Amino acid sequence: MERHIEEENQKHSNTSPEPLVYRQADSKNTVVNVNGIEIGGEKIVIIAGPCAVESKEQLLETAKLVSSAGAVILRGGAYKPRTSPYSFQGLGEEGLKYLSLARKESGLSVVTEVMDTRQMDLVCQYTDIVQIGSRNMSNFPLLKEAGKCGKPVLFKRGLMATIDEYLMATEYILSEGNNQVILCERGIRTFENSTRNTLDLSAVPVLKRKTHLPVIVDPSHGTGYNWIVPSMAKAAVAVGADGLMIEVHSKPGDALSDGAQSLYPKDFVQLMSDLDKIAQAVGREIFHH
């Protein structure tokens, strides 16, 4: 192992035992397997869908369109972490039911967020991947539950977290025996306010160097505006992301959450075709069913 990586890892070695999250000299990349879709392998996996599950019709329509454009995993929140308690909070279990219906009709696997330890069992009954959002990156009891849930976990970087804080939080999941963790860069809070967050694309190569886990990028929450999402999605693939998570809405103007950053279907279709070329340029390809 290169010396400075060894030194970086050394910083953590007084917390015994040795953290599982860090890459060791001989560690192979961890590949997360979701119904045969390998995340962290050769191919790049595209997750797409609305910010929130809003209705059965909305979800089924969006599932169909993202699937035909080439996405293989459907996203959609049933429990939404909103800034204001008066904003739409998600449909709860009803939303989970629509997700499993969309899963059945489209053949897509699904990912949805869990916000509370008390929802873990219920959410796991409906989803293929459990998402833990940025606001809960340091909710250690929730992370431990995710470590015991038996499902792959999509774990997002906190708004103010350094990469090492993020990785030690990931350790809470791994230490419970679950190594099926997908890391997700989704932008951090900086002084810059031209975008909703500052998408830290340098986190991708840094994370790939420090850990064996797959790393994906969410350019939607990372930027906050749909006009910038395709550029940053392409850049993310160019810097080595193992996948992307992108918000798509059939009518962004009518979305109950995050409309401004949601792609129009036609722009998602165009992006998918552009991504094939970027992936090829970096010696990879987009995973298609």
Amino acid 266 reads: K
Which one, 51 or 163, has the nearer CB to Mn ion?
Answer: 51
| C-alpha span between 73 and 122 (Å, rounded) | 20
For ligand PEP, the nearest residue by Cβ is 133
Which one, 224 or 230, has the nearer CB to Mn ion?
Answer: 224
Which entry of ligand PEP, Mn ion, none binds 134, CB below 5 to 8 A by partner kind?
Answer: ligand PEP
Tokens of 78: 């049933």
Regarding 113 and contact with Mn ion (CB under 5 A), the answer is no
Task: Please report, as ranges, the residues that interact with ligand PEP according to CB under 6 A.
Answer: 51, 77, 81, 113, 133-135, 156, 186, 218, 221
| C-alpha span between 123 and 258 (Å, rounded) | 22
Least distance to ligand PEP, CB of residue 159, Å: 8
Residue 93: which H helix or E strand, with range? helix 93-106
Least distance to ligand PEP, CB of residue 135, Å: 6
Can you tell me which of 40, 44, 258, 287 binds Mn ion, judged by CB under 5 A? Answer: 258
Which entry of ligand PEP, Mn ion, none binds 152, CB below 5 to 8 A by partner kind?
Answer: none
Tokens of 251: 């009518």
* Beta-carbon contacts of residue 194 (< 8 Å; ≥ 6 apart): none
- Would you give the DSSP letter of residue 226? T
Query: Nearest 5 degrees, angle CA 73-CA 195-CA 261?
Result: 35
Least distance to ligand PEP, CB of residue 216, Å: 11
